[in-house]
Chains A and B, each alone.
Chain A
Amino acid sequence: MITAGIDCGAKNVKVVILEDGKVTGKAMAPAGIDAASAAEKAFDDALKMAGCGREAVTKVVSTGTGKSEPKFKNDIVTEVGADARGIHYLYPNVRTVIDVGAEEGRAIRVDEKGKVVDFAINEKCAAGAGAFTEAMARALEIPLEDFGPFSLTSNQEVPMNAQCAVFAESEVVSLVHRKIPKQDIARAIHNAIADRITSMVRMVGVTPDVALVGGVAKNVGFVASLKEDLQMEITIPEDREFVGAIGAAFVAADAK
């Protein structure tokens, strides 16, 4: 049986094609202003990789902020449910999933069957989401993809007082004026977002194994700060951005 999972995020749409419990195709497209057509495109790309047509797909389940957007979906699942199902397939030993996306952060505690025990979400404040690092990288005039590696070259800790992304931007500017090396500021920024995420994770409890998923998991600077905060190893799936979509595809398969 072939199913599909779509994760319609604030920034990117991710699609996964699942055939008999194995991922056979995946694709990603920027959500832009029209998430529905981005979903169509990512779906076609993923099908191409899997080598099958739309008619072969039994069921399509959608998740993410824009989960109601894709026209070809049959059902929807919550982001929390999708993450939990996805991580259970990838790493069944994981008990705590941390998902940091462009505009949301989530911490989910799952049991050995992949069932959700508890969760916490921040969707109100940019300070605990990718939007924060993006705004700060822009303020420092460093390309986002270089931002993480660049912060790892820092060798001194600089405190940041502001929590709010808007206030932090002013603080970054004043740190630059004070001639603080940019890599130290970059590290302070990653420490700040890691602190926000950590306090959210503590609300559900930090039970090992801990996995980090979502787009911000690509940022090595953030990962380093988070490890320091949590004082433990963190599992990061290779398909860190596709965990929600994988989960949605499994939810589709589970329902038959």
Chain B
Amino acid sequence: MAEEQKKTEYWRWTESRWTNPDIDWKQGGIVSAGVDVGSVSTQAVIMVDGQLYCSSSMRTGSDSPESANSAMKWALEGTGLTTDKIQATVGTGYGRVNVPFATKAITEIACHARGGNFIYGPQVRTILDMGGQDCKAIRCDEKGKVTAFLMNDKCAAGTGRGMEVFADLLGVHINDVGKMSLQVDTEPPPVSSTCVVFAKSEASGLLRQGWPKEKVLAAYCSAMAHRVVTLLERIGVEKEFAITGGIAKNIGIVNRLSKELNVTPLKSDLDPQIAGAIGGALFAKVLFEKKGK
């Protein structure tokens, strides 16, 4: 029935899972896991002897323990590996205390620094983690140890949530907003309202004036990039610089951010969204080794 047809969920980003074909867990070694239960997405990562073995990234449901379980189950799918073979697990993220099978809960700040260090290498000194409902600027040393951080978790401006509101308003899928925002000949002035609620009304006004969606997205992406830059500048950006979290995949934000900061973020083939879970799995490995001594 037409009435029952669900409204298109533009915010619904693509879930994914991955297995490293070069690793065979049966060869032995320490099997450790990290589960990052965020406000919007949950990632599970399994590592064998500190090497990335498999991962999953999916939406967080209304129940954190259940989300942790399903991400873990999906990561393990088809590998033959079972949860009882995992020697230590670290829970992290917004719902870290609700990871049922975790050996320990560690903050996402520490895990993102550690995971960023793994993904982008020891030269990373500044990590920007842009998540679904918060944004963190983290400074770390060559071991991925946190030396300072700043965080915004109070306001939706500058978080994935704000971007979702715009995707929904414009009817553009969240996976496409970044690319679409770059399809403008000249960069429009940024949306002037900070608050997402007010920015949304401002954008409606712009649409009424006849602005195309691309231009509105460009205006919002540059406002958002600017907002994040102010957070970063408060803590100072030391090279090398890397971005983790879901918004690292939004090229519209990343490009504008790099331009304003005049710093090019490091690139990697790995999914920037699993950085927190990778950090968790690396910490879990250390926990297991300590226990053995």
Q: How far does the alpha carbon of A29 sit from the alpha carbon of B162 in the complex, in Å?
A: 31
Given the contacts A163-B154, A166-B161, A131 and B198 also touching, CB distance less than 8 Å: yes
Contact check, B62 vs A126: say whether CB atoms are below 8 A apart. Answer: no
CA distance A126 to B39 in the complex (A): 22
Q: How distant is A137 from chain B, measured CB to nearest CB, in Å?
A: 14
**How near does chain A come to B191, taking the closest CB pair, in angstroms?**
13
B197 within 8 A of A: yes
Nearest CB in chain A to that of B196: its residue: A166
Pick the contact of B197: A33, A163, A166, A177 (CB < 8 A).
A166
> CB-nearest residue of chain B relative to A123?
B198
Interface size, B (range): 10 to 19
- Centre residue among B193, B194, B195, B196 by max chain A CB count within 10 A: B195
Interface-centre pick from B154, B194, B196, B198 (highest chain A CB count, 10 A): B198
Please determine whether B195 and A167 come into contact, CB atoms closer than 8 angstroms: no
Mark A64-81 against chain B: 1 for CB-CB distance below 8 A, else 0: 000000000000000000
| Residue contact B197 to A165, C-beta cutoff 8 Å | yes
Q: Which residues of A contact B156 (CB under 8 A)?
A: 164-167
* Interface residue? B184 (CB, 8 A): no
**CB nearest to B204 among chain A residues:** A33
Asked whether A179 is an interface residue with its Cβ less than 8 Å from the other chain, the reply is no
Contact with B along A119-147 (1 / 0, CB 8 A): 00000111100011001000000000000
- By a CB distance below 8 angstroms, the chain B residues around A131 are 197-198
Name the residue among A33, A163, A164 with the largest chain B CB count within 10 angstroms.
A164
Chain A interface size, under 10 / 10 to 19 / 20 to 34 / 35 or more: 10 to 19
The residue that A164 contacts in the complex, of B154, B205, B208, with Cβ under 8 A, is B154
A207 within 8 A of B: no
Residue of A nearest to B40 (CB): A170
**A103, A126, A132: most-surrounded residue (chain B CB, <10 A):** A126
Q: Mark B195-211, 1 if CB is under 8 A from A, else 0.
A: 11110000001001000
> For window 126-140 of chain B, which residues contact chain A by CB distance below 8 Å?
133
Q: Which B residues from 49 to 85 make CB contacts under 8 A with A?
A: 62
* Contacting pair B154 A177 (CB below 8 A): no
* B198–A103 touching, CB < 8 Å: yes
Is A153 at the interface (CB under 8 A from chain B)?
A: no
Closest to B152 in A: A164
- Is B155's CB under 8 angstroms from A164's CB? yes
**Is the beta-carbon distance between B195 and A125 smaller than 8 angstroms?**
yes
Q: Indicate whether B102 reaches chain A with its CB closer than 8 angstroms.
A: no
Q: Shortest distance in angstroms between A170's beta carbon and chain B's nearest beta carbon? A: 8
Q: B151 an interface residue at 8 Å Cβ cutoff? A: no
Q: Is the Cβ of A135 less than 8 Å from the Cβ of B133?
A: no
B165 contacts chain A at the CB level, 8 A cutoff: yes
The reply to whether the CB of A156 lies closer than 8 angstroms to some CB of chain B is no
Question: Are A166's CB and B194's CB within 8 A?
Answer: no
Bound Cα distance A131, B198 (Å)? 9
- Judge whether B194 and A125 touch: CB under 8 Å: yes
In contact, B194 and A124 (Cβ under 8 angstroms): yes
Residues of B116-170 contacting chain A, CB below 8 A: 133, 154-156, 161-162, 165
- Assess A124 versus B154: contact at CB under 8 Å? Given A33-B205, A167-B161: no
